[in-house]
């Protein structure tokens, strides 16, 4: 599930992903991405990774579709997590986007929040 965080405002979309990720999560995220892109052009994403139990196939396809649709408009991505997998994901995403992608360990989430708004 995606839980939107308080720092979601203007061109920043911030959420915590945890539990089972389904297409319904993307159904709530997509309109916000579209609206923000129309209003600000440059998007900034703050993605805090919690205890993810799994992702459905439909959700994975939505994730890929959203990524390719909005890639040109993403300016910054902060990935916040507590495992090596999130750190690897952030490094793997970097060559495929013009966005500045940074990984932060969970105890540094306040630093990540400061960076995403700068």
Q: Which residue reads 């992903």 in tokens?
A: 17
Ranges under pLDDT 70 in the chain? 86-90, 92-96
CA distance 60 to 80: 19
* pLDDT, tens digit, 9 for 90 and up, residues 80-112: 998 777 666 667 666 667 789 899 999 999 999
Question: What's the pLDDT score for residue 68?
Answer: 80
Contact, 80 vs 47, CB < 8 A?
Answer: yes
Percent of residues, the chain, with pLDDT higher than 90 = 69
Question: What's the pLDDT score for residue 89?
Answer: 66
Question: What's the pLDDT score for residue 45?
Answer: 95
Question: What's the pLDDT score for residue 29?
Answer: 95
Q: How many CB atoms lie within 10 A of CB 70?
A: 19
CA distance 109 to 41: 25
Contact, 36 vs 43, CB < 8 A?
Answer: yes
19 phi, psi to nearest 5 deg = 70, -145
Question: What's the pLDDT score for residue 94?
Answer: 63
Structure tokens at 49: 């990774």
Question: What's the pLDDT score for residue 27?
Answer: 94
CA distance 26 to 104: 23
Contact, 89 vs 95, CB < 8 A?
Answer: no
Model-wide pTM > 0.85:
yes
Half-sphere exposure at residue 71, Cβ-oriented, CA atoms within 13 angstroms: 12
């Amino acid at each position: 599930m995606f839980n939107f965080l308080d720092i979601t405002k203007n061109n920043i979309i911030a959420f915590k992903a945890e539990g089972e990720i389904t297409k319904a999560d993307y159904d709530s995220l997509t309109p916000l991405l579209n609206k923000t892109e129309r209003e600000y052009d440059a998007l900034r994403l703050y993605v805090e990774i919690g205890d993810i139990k799994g992702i459905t196939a439909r959700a994975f396809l939505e994730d890929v579709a959203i990524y390719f649709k909005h890639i040109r408009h993403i300016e910054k991505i902060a990935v916040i997590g507590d495992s090596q997998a999130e750190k690897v994901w952030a490094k793997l995403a970097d060559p495929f986007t013009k966005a500045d992608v940074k990984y932060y360990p969970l105890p540094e989430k306040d630093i990540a929040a400061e960076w995403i708004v700068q």
